[in-house]
């Protein structure tokens, strides 16, 4: 599989007016939420964190200090995320993402407190290891890995900086602690791109360990001298090594609670043993076969433009899963049977066909397919027309009893390159299936027509596909479809191959 470093989680497309309004609400809510979090932290550890201010303000400290610190931190976070969200496309976060990041920061703060205050109390350790060195065990690398795997690299960098400041505050704000946390979080996040199996997650921790160890030794030498440098290196190395197992243990919990789907989860979903795919295979075999071919096309298209091939393949397998309840209404399952739409009005046919997107979303939620697959199910038809029923509905449209617009899917249109690729692959597969023994030229013309139609209909207006991307995807589709269509060699009448043997 062609995996590239650019194939990070895609941003949510260009911002609309509603998106801007939503972002303002999110900024206000992050301000309030962070204010609440810091008020609690300050109440618990204010005097310890800011002893000088506590001494000067005396009895007013708890109130004045809490308000001042909370205001400063809330302003900092709001300004920071506002700036990043406006200028960096991949940092446009949903409310759920904020909640996830705040939860991680909060947990990390308490873990840092535990590591720094509880471990030095262990009797057999406290004599051998200087107490200040326990900061090198704060598990920020594991948390940075989780953020990179579930969100993206830009957010992982922002999280590392914010969580480092917060965790260093828990460790009484020493410079070596802050610098080590920044280094270890960045090193772990940078080694956790495109993790598709557990082994690579563990390996990312192993590669992070020496960076942490060398960083800790250098910081100790610079700030404290040679005393205890080997302990610092050992503790920091252990921190890096256990980052993989900790991230692996926390990942399924984060996926379950916040509805994310990491690439490891996508690999699990890709198995045909998945109960929903198994159902699709038994109840709608035509749709299952269609989905497999769409997956192959989409994977090739994604690889051609450095999008995420794994996400494309898995989302394609599930894109039409909403058809399981009524498979006979869809052409790919009608081979050898009557077309039920012949006896239905165009309006009824429309309702049944449109419902497969909604049904698919319900099943995605029921089977916890995760946010990325669900988004693609919702967007795979965009607001495109139901071309197959448009001809049948022409009389209704001419009599003004229906408009062409009522024969459109409700949307939304594809907002990521992966969703756009699946929309195009879906239509290209269906169109190529309707061709009887097509020549290479006919195949190329069909794919080009499909891509042009989607582009001219505005279906690709909300995703980041360039014309160069579109051309590359089109060429990849033609390559795969040629192999698929021309591989369907007709058997001779006798049922025997050209050499007199059953092929």
Q: How far is the CB of 222 from Fe ion (least distance, A)?
A: 60
Q: Among positive and negative, which fits the CA dihedral 264, 270, 271, 273? A: positive
Stretch that binds Fe ion, among 116-124, 139-147, 200-208, 313-321 (CB under 5 A): 313-321
462 is a contact residue toward Fe ion (CB under 5 A): no
Please tell me the distance from the alpha carbon of residue 122 to that of residue 468, in angstroms, as a whole number: 61
| Chain CA centroid to CA 398, Å | 45
Stretch that binds Fe ion, among 49-57, 113-121, 124-132, 312-320 (CB under 5 A): 312-320
Closer residue to Fe ion, CB minimum distance, 148 or 413: 413
Q: Read off the DSSP letter of residue 134.
A: G
Closer residue to Fe ion, CB minimum distance, 120 or 411: 411
Closer residue to Fe ion, CB minimum distance, 254 or 284: 284
Q: How far is the CB of 359 from Fe ion (least distance, A)?
A: 10
Q: How far is the CB of 433 from Fe ion (least distance, A)?
A: 11
**Alpha-carbon dihedral angle through residues 39, 40, 41, 46, given to the nearest 10 degrees:** 70
Stretch that binds Fe ion, among 103-111, 169-177, 315-323, 492-500 (CB under 5 A): 315-323
426 is a contact residue toward Fe ion (CB under 5 A): yes
Closer residue to Fe ion, CB minimum distance, 8 or 418: 418
Q: How many residues bind Fe ion (CB under 5 A)?
A: 2
332 is a contact residue toward Fe ion (CB under 5 A): no
Stretch that binds Fe ion, among 106-114, 145-153, 197-205, 420-428 (CB under 5 A): 420-428
Closer residue to Fe ion, CB minimum distance, 38 or 288: 288
Considering only residues 223 through 262, tell me which ones interact with Fe ion, judged by CB under 5 A: none
Q: How far is the CB of 6 from Fe ion (least distance, A)?
A: 27
Under a CB-based contact definition with an 8 Å cutoff, are residues 74 and 35 in contact?
yes
Q: How far is the CB of 319 from Fe ion (least distance, A)?
A: 6
Stretch that binds Fe ion, among 1-9, 10-18, 195-203, 314-322 (CB under 5 A): 314-322
Please tell me the distance from the alpha carbon of residue 375 to that of residue 416, in angstroms, as a whole number: 9
Q: How far is the CB of 381 from Fe ion (least distance, A)?
A: 6
Q: How far is the CB of 410 from Fe ion (least distance, A)?
A: 13
Among 10, 255, 320, 469, binds Fe ion (CB under 5 A): 320
- Token pair listed for 186: 């960045």
Closer residue to Fe ion, CB minimum distance, 164 or 427: 427
Please tell me the distance from the alpha carbon of residue 77 to that of residue 162, in angstroms, as a whole number: 8
Please tell me the distance from the alpha carbon of residue 503 to that of residue 485, in angstroms, as a whole number: 18
- Rounded to a whole number of angstroms, the CA Rg of the chain reads 28
Q: How far is the CB of 196 from Fe ion (least distance, A)?
A: 25
From residue 147 to residue 176, what is the string marking binding to Fe ion with x (rule CB under 5 A)? ------------------------------
- Token pair listed for 463: 């995703």
Please tell me the distance from the alpha carbon of residue 477 to that of residue 429, in angstroms, as a whole number: 9
Task: State the helix-helix crossing angle for 309-318 and 371-379, rounded to 10 degrees.
Answer: 60
Closer residue to Fe ion, CB minimum distance, 82 or 279: 279
What's the helix, strand, coil split of the chain in %, to 5? 75, 0, 25
Closer residue to Fe ion, CB minimum distance, 36 or 348: 348
Please tell me the distance from the alpha carbon of residue 309 to that of residue 293, in angstroms, as a whole number: 14
Q: How far is the CB of 320 from Fe ion (least distance, A)?
A: 4
Q: How far is the CB of 288 from Fe ion (least distance, A)?
A: 11
Give which of 241, 245, 163 is closest to 198, Cα–Cα. 245
Stretch that binds Fe ion, among 22-30, 200-208, 366-374, 424-432 (CB under 5 A): 424-432
Q: How far is the CB of 279 from Fe ion (least distance, A)?
A: 16
Closer residue to Fe ion, CB minimum distance, 418 or 426: 426
Residues with Cβ < 8 Å from 353, sequence gap 6 or more? 329, 330, 386, 389
Q: Among positive and negative, which fits the CA dihedral 321, 322, 326, 331? A: negative
Stretch that binds Fe ion, among 200-208, 219-227, 366-374, 425-433 (CB under 5 A): 425-433
Please tell me the distance from the alpha carbon of residue 349 to that of residue 168, in angstroms, as a whole number: 62
Closer residue to Fe ion, CB minimum distance, 8 or 320: 320
Please tell me the distance from the alpha carbon of residue 335 to that of residue 316, in angstroms, as a whole number: 22
Closer residue to Fe ion, CB minimum distance, 113 or 350: 350
**Alpha-carbon dihedral angle through residues 208, 211, 214, 218, given to the nearest 10 degrees:** -130
Exposed/middle/buried for 52, CB within 10 Å: 0-12, 13-18, 19+? exposed
Residues that bind Fe ion (CB under 5 A): 320, 426
């Amino acid at each position: 599989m062609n995996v590239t470093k650019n194939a990070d989680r895609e941003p949510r497309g260009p911002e609309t007016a509603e998106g801007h309004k939503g972002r303002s609400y999110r900024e206000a809510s992050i301000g309030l939420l962070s204010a609440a979090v810091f008020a609690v932290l300050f109440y618990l550890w204010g005097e310890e964190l800011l002893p000088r201010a506590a001494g000067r303000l005396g009895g007013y400290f708890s109130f004045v200090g809490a308000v001042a610190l909370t205001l400063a931190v809330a302003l900092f976070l709001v300004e920071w995320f506002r700036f990043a969200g406006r200028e960096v496309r991949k940092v446009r976060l949903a409310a759920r993402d904020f909640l996830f990041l705040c939860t991680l920061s909060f947990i990390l703060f308490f873990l840092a407190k535990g590591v720094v205050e509880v471990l030095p109390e262990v009797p057999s350790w406290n004599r051998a290891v200087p107490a200040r060195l326990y900061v090198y065990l704060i598990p920020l690398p594991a948390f940075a890995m989780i953020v990179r795997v579930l969100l993206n690299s830009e957010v992982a960098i922002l999280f590392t900086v914010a969580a480092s400041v917060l965790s260093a505050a828990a460790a009484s704000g020493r410079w070596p602690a802050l610098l080590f946390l920044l280094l270890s979080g960045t090193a772990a996040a940078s080694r956790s791109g495109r993790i598709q199996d557990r082994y690579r997650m563990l390996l990312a921790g192993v590669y992070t360990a020496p960076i942490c160890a060398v960083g800790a030794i250098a910081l100790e030498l610079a700030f404290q001298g040679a005393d205890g440098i080997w302990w610092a290196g050992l503790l920091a190395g252990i921190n890096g090594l256990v980052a993989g197992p900790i991230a692996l243990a926390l990942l399924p919990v984060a996926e379950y609670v916040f509805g994310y789907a990491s690439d490891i989860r996508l690999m699990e979903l890709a198995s045909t043993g998945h109960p929903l795919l198994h159902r699709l295979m038994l109840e709608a075999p035509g749709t299952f076969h269609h989905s497999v071919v769409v997956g192959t096309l989409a994977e090739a298209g994604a690889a051609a433009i450095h999008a995420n091939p794994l996400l494309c393949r898995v989302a394609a397998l599930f894109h039409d899963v909403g058809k399981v309840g009524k498979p006979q209404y869809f052409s790919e399952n009608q081979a050898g049977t009557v077309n039920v739409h012949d006896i239905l009005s165009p309006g009824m046919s429309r309702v049944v066909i449109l419902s497969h997107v909604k049904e698919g979303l319900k099943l995605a939620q029921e089977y916890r397919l995760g946010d990325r697959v669900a988004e693609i199910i919702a967007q795979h038809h965009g607001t495109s027309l139901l071309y197959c029923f448009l001809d049948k509905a022409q009389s209704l449209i001419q009599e003004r009893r229906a408009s062409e617009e009522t024969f459109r899917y409700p949307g939304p249109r594809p907002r990521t390159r992966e969703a756009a690729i699946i929309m195009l692959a879906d239509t290209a597969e269906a169109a190529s299936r309707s061709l009887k023994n097509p020549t290479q030229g006919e195949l190329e013309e069909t794919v080009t027509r499909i891509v042009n139609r989607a582009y001219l209909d505005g279906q690709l207006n909300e995703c980041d596909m360039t014309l160069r991307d579109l051309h590359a995807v089109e060429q990849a589709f033609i390559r795969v479809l040629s192999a698929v269509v021309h591989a369907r060699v007709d058997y001779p009448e006798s049922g025997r191959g050209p050499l007199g043997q059953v092929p």
